[in-house]
Amino acid sequence: MAVKFYQAQNQVPLEMHKVRMVQKISLLPVEERLKRIQEAGNNTFLLQNRDIYLDMLTDSGVNGMTDLQMAAAMRADDSYAGSETFTRVKEAVKEVFGTENVLPAHQGRACENILSSALVKPGQTALMNFHFTTTKAHITRMGGTVEEIIADKGLLPQSDDPFKGDFDLDKLRATINEKGAENIAFVRVEAGTNLIGGQPVSLENMLAVTDICHDNKIISVLDASLLQDNVYFMKTREARCKYMDIKSIYHLLADHFDIIYFSARKLGFAKGGIITSKDAKYTKMMMEYIPLYEGFLTYGGMDVRSMEAMAQGLYESLDMEYINQGPEFINYLAKELHDYGVPVVLPAGGLGCHLNAGAFVPELPHNEYPAAAVAAALYIAGGIRGMERGTLSEQRNPDGTEPYSELELMRLAVPRRVYTLSQLKYVADRVKWLWDNRTLIGGLEWVEEPTVLRFFSGRLKEKGYWQEQLAEKFRKDFGDSL
């Protein structure tokens, strides 16, 4: 139950944990921030951590671990084979998901590599509610294609629908009939749909998707990386789940999905990755790729301390008081911005608060990368590192043309148990200032464009001198303040 404040105007999300370790961070003057973002090629991935005040690039691998996770890491068994650490990981996976067949990998995208190598044949299609960048890259690398089957409501930046990540079930059936089940590599459900704002999928929709897969003898895959957030939304937005305990939901999903994989950088707030299944035939299909790409079957490229922290983190993913902080902080930030008039994705999802950059700077065309421009502008305005989730995050077609993203979003991820409410209020303040000065934001153009996953390492430059003008306006408005 939520803690109610005596004075309603003071109501804020209340953490049920305390902070016992701190790390010093710094805030550079605006002129230095301007210099740093330009040196980084207007790519927030290429900024140095020492130059960032609040790092909201991602919630992957940067969450605060608990005292029990830190303690667990100290009992790690680094035996190459027969490791007790791996036994404890398997026990945690069995407790949380009810599955006994477990393959380790060093992180979520490594799991995607294994899945694609084992399951995707040239010419096949993988169906999913919405693609993720690395997932799609691994599938296309194997000669496959990706088709998105998300319901139309998922592409509306603002609505009152609680589950915008749901599949369009009629479209899923029609696509399978059109392509033929034998030409479908697998159907993948992303629980907490990253590229449309961390939007959840309902339990009802997930189970319906697996029923369709089973009827057509197609493999069903659950990407459970953001399952913690998704389960929070199930329990708070879906009547069926309100009185179910979290473990019952996890077990029900594992009963229906053929394969589950996740990045422990998100699920459990540790590091590493896991592929698991109730049916050993699926893990056997992938087992040979673990020693080939990752490491031996008892560590899969992970260090044993991370594995111990992962095991403890999986147990903690069953605790509502641990998993609620992210969604509640994100909702607080989204509401603060929405009330001011800033266009954000609503309802707030998991993972982070997403600015609708297409509405923030509507005059900028897709090929001037509005979401990346807003991300660069916010770093200048506040030393805050966000992440582009729009056209820049797509990859060019084989003929060199550029597919434009359905949504141009700038993500402000909220690492769990890392930042305080006062720091979130600072973020809101700087975003509001940027919104009021949005006409100063201009476009970006390529200087160096990689062919694969270009958003990680590509470099761009401003079109004109809008960044200098933005920095000058900041100094005029804030005086000597950082």
Question: Is position 465 annotated as part of the catalytic site?
Answer: no
Question: Is position 455 annotated as part of the catalytic site?
Answer: yes
Question: Is position 223 annotated as part of the catalytic site?
Answer: yes
Instruction: Pick the closest to residue 395 from 458, 477, 479, 346 (CA basis).
Output: 458
| 300 touches 392 (CB < 8 A) | no
**Residue 479 φ then ψ, to 5°:** 60, -130
Structure tokens at 63: 């969450």
* Cross-strand pairs, 104: 274
- How far apart CA 218 and CA 185 sit, in angstroms, is 8
- How far apart CA 455 and CA 443 sit, in angstroms, is 16
- How far apart CA 273 and CA 110 sit, in angstroms, is 7
- How far apart CA 480 and CA 367 sit, in angstroms, is 36
| 268 touches 66 (CB < 8 A) | no
Question: Is position 266 annotated as part of the catalytic site?
Answer: yes
**Residue 445 φ then ψ, to 5°:** -140, 155
Structure tokens at 462: 């401003």
Select which of 132, 233, 289, 299 is catalytic. Answer: 132
DSSP labels, 240-289: GGTTS-HHHHHHHHHHH-SEEEEETTTTTSSS-EEEEESSHHHHHHHHTH
Select which of 133, 193, 210, 276 is catalytic. Answer: 133
Select which of 88, 266, 416, 454 is catalytic. Answer: 266
H or E segment and range at residue 353:
strand 352-356
Question: Is position 261 annotated as part of the catalytic site?
Answer: no
Question: Is position 90 annotated as part of the catalytic site?
Answer: no
Select which of 36, 164, 188, 389 is catalytic. Answer: 389
Cα-only R_g, the chain: 22
Structure tokens at 290: 């673990």
Select which of 51, 59, 168, 223 is catalytic. Answer: 223
Question: Is position 419 annotated as part of the catalytic site?
Answer: no
- How far apart CA 93 and CA 87 sit, in angstroms, is 10
Q: Which residues are catalytic?
A: 80, 132-133, 223, 266, 389, 455
